[in-house]
Chain A
């Protein structure tokens, strides 16, 4: 391994060190900044959407006059379509993806498998700068003539063609999706090769932390399915720019809009697992770390992750149950969709068993992890209703769907991201975050998240459908106004609670000094905690040798011999009974 990974001198110029850096740790931070910035933007759009649902057509306080001068500060129907379209796209592709894949992947993969950097550091740098290009395209799409993208995050044609959204903004947004796809593929190749080729001696696949398993499987899915999104986007661009008719049908064309849906969801369903797999991995590790107990049935969890990854490619049709698909196809997708619940239940049982009879430390990352289990249970269980055709006849395209996927894709992923930030902050910056503020941040955002998305589930169950500028145009929704208003208050509460995080994060990133007890404050055994915080440019002076799995906690023999309840993966220790898991 060592001869493959020579030690390079750390760059000294500011540009090479902080901007065009090939160091995975710097690139991880860059993805973190880029992701958090767009998270704030996407969150701001969400607040505007919530305002509209509570007080339709009323002038937005504080920002309304500046944003919507032509309508005297109130959101217009056209402006509203742009809000929810960009909220969805920005959150999924430009906030969650860079945080879960770009940030976690870059930070963890080399450090946790014992490598000095990624397999292709320059490709890694390119991946980030291509990502920045895609974000710039998004920002440009917001300000060009004829307005921003407005066809919904799913970008279904013919709505997303010139027939209904002729603006340059929609074109730029589709281009941004194509470009972010290129960045993702670059990253995926790098992650896969690094994990296969650069594991430290002794680091077998079944000795990897579950975070790495999650990131690895997500990267494989990315590599397989992002090109499908790229092809759909490219054909859509042809329809928009060169008068082709791949997806245009009806009065103005002979293409097939459903073809786009197949391509979109063939990517789109693996995508939701791409986003949740790293989160599952990270959380599974944390549950073990902070219960001071080995991850229960580790191999079972791994095989559950693998099974879910395979099944994720075979269930996308459940997004199209009412699109007019053949009943035969619909039924197959229904069975496969329900089948995912078997490995998912196994995974969930393993989490619950991991914390059971442990010695739980309710640190900030652990609180976020337990919060994750809670919201993921809600998100997963409400998904069951949507997995079958007959219930979907009623629930499809209602706010129930919105609530369900926000619990899994928004609540769960962001709790995991925050858990990760609190956990690895000392490793990245050499300083602690304030734990009390962290706990306040957890409890406030936990209440906010559950209030918002439960509100969505309830109004959706009552029939309120999605993307309504003024839901109360409908008699059967009118009585839900007070509920929607309350949901909005929860959303604002959630928005304000994020400020606690912002203060805590920025203060500790930029304050001076180096805290005590920073190299391994959580007393865990994975490889990143065997090096100083922050690690040297080349991570490991000598490539470590791995002896144990990532979850060696509370072993009685270790306690007796070493007086501590954990064992680093690199710590040689011979157990009396052979146990190599």
Chain B
């Protein structure tokens, strides 16, 4: 009895939270701008980031290597089948000479050093100095910090507002809409209330799981104005495919003005809610899911 009771409460809780987030989100909601542009062709989607080219280059080089290796394998099989067919007299060769041993290991080691070595070295550099260098990003001057609260099946975003502190009344909260300034580093801290989600920005070549019970990080710097898709890459339930948001890259002054306006609205809403008290205040507080910004290590 208590179990189903708890479950009932839990479901009601989730529903109420989702509803209030939706309402506040719509209040705060920026009207959707033009939808993202269609991609064409079958390659990588358009890269709109400062560092995405690192991943694209590494993928491209690896493609080249593996294509060469694959063609060699195909030719080898084809030639063997044509030249060394039924009429060919088979070589009696167990291939267990010292020469074989050295030659095979040398070839394996060479391929490893070139193909895997290139991947390893560049990936180490990429993650140490770029994609996972969160401590370094924290020190950048024009950094924009955003907290993301993921839940089935939407993304809530929270900006600190003019006071620079999270979870205060001037915070800007949006639903499925993330505005960021062009050419500035954007650092996210991500949390989930229910199941595991994954914050995926194909045009920026980055992705980070969002795990209940912990805060994860992701950062990027966009170089192009416009609207782009944000997706959930981790299966998170029935409507996983609908858990998408829109990233809008704006000029810095437009973004600052947007934040200022939104923040004024936030404060007014908050003060109205407090004045009216009761359900209004409660409903408002239920959307206060933010957390003090965590220091990156």
Contacts and interface: CB of A to CB of B under 8 A. Distances in A.
A360 B77 CA distance: 11
Interface residues of B, number: 100
A218 B8 CA distance: 46
Interface in A324-362: 324, 327, 330-331, 334-335, 338-339, 341-343, 345-346, 348-350, 352-353, 355-362
Contacts of A343: 108
B45 A391 contact: no
A189 interface: no
A381 B66 CA distance: 6
Contact of A300 (B84, B101, B195, B207): B101
A73 interface: no
B40 A479 contact: yes
Interface in B239-253: 239-242, 244
B241 A162 contact: no
Contacts of B231: 465, 474
Most interface-central of B41, B238, B244 (chain A CB within 10 A)? B238
Interface in B25-66: 35-45, 54-55, 58-59, 62-63, 65-66
A339 B13 CA distance: 49
B244 A473 contact: yes
Interface string A358-373: 1111100000001001
B5 interface: no
A569 to B, nearest CB: 15
B92 A555 contact: yes
A234 to B, nearest CB: 20
B291 interface: no
Interface stretch (B115-123, B159-167, B180-188): B115-123
A381 B194 CA distance: 37
A342 B213 contact: no
Nearest to B79: A356
Nearest to A370: B77
Interface in B104-150: 104-105, 107-109, 111-112, 115-116, 119-120, 122-124, 126-128, 131-132
A257 B233 contact: no
B93 A293 contact: yes
B200 to A, nearest CB: 6
Point out which of A81, A324, A467 has the most chain B C-beta atoms below 10 A from its C-beta: A324
Contacts of B73: 348, 352, 373-374, 377
Contacts of A159: 195-196, 235-237
B209 A81 contact: no
B100 to A, nearest CB: 5
Given A297-B101, A323-B211, A357-B90, A158 B119 contact: no
Contacts of A398: 233
B55 A390 contact: yes
A385 interface: yes
A123 interface: no
Contacts of A166: 7
A573 B73 CA distance: 36
A291 B74 CA distance: 17
Given A373-B73, A398-B233, A469-B241, A390 B39 contact: no
B93 A256 contact: no
Contacts of A248: 212
A72 B244 CA distance: 27
A294 B97 CA distance: 13
B69 interface: yes
A480 interface: yes
Contact of B195 (A158, A397, A458, A474): A158
Interface in A164-178: 164, 166
A396 B72 CA distance: 28
B116 A322 contact: no
What is the size category of the interface that chain A forms with chain B?
35 or more
B16 to A, nearest CB: 12
A359 B42 contact: no
Contact of B94 (A294, A384, A388): A294
Contacts of A491: none
Given A324-B214, A349-B107, A394-B55, A461 B44 contact: yes
A352 B78 CA distance: 11
Given A258-B211, A389-B127, A298 B76 contact: no
A420 B156 CA distance: 53
B211 A249 contact: yes
Interface in A547-573: 551, 553-556, 565
A243 B2 CA distance: 11
B270 to A, nearest CB: 23
B36 A476 contact: yes
Given A300-B101, A388-B119, A480-B42, A374 B74 contact: yes
Nearest to A156: B196
A257 B120 contact: no
Given A297-B96, A298-B94, A475-B39, A327 B127 contact: yes
Contacts of B58: 388, 390-391
A476 B202 contact: yes
Contact of B240 (A355, A373, A467, A476): A467
A197 interface: no
A437 interface: no
Given A257-B212, A476-B229, A463 B44 contact: yes
A471 interface: yes
A362 B81 contact: yes
A81 B90 contact: no
A9 B89 CA distance: 46
Contact of A359 (B36, B86, B212): B86
Nearest to B81: A360
A579 B263 CA distance: 84
Contacts of B69: 377, 381
Given A158-B195, A258-B211, A334-B123, A465 B107 contact: no
Contacts of B216: 324
A467 B35 CA distance: 23
Contacts of A152: 235
B235 A360 contact: no
Contacts of A395: 59
Contacts of A471: 241
Interface string A448-478: 0000000000110111011111110111111
Given A293-B92, A381-B70, A359 B84 contact: yes
A465 B213 contact: no
Contact of A353 (B95, B126, B213): B95
B47 to A, nearest CB: 10
A293 B91 contact: yes
B233 A466 contact: yes
B3 A346 contact: no
Given A391-B58, A391-B59, 13 more contacts: A296-B93, A300-B96, A324-B216, A338-B119, A348-B73, A349-B104, A349-B108, A374-B77, A384-B119, A385-B59, A390-B127, A465-B231, A470-B241
Q: Lowest 7 A-B CB distances belong to which pairs?
A: A249-B213, A250-B212, A296-B95, A388-B123, A554-B90, A390-B126, A463-B202
9 contacts: A255-B213, A295-B94, A322-B209, A357-B80, A360-B81, A362-B81, A461-B42, A475-B36, A477-B39
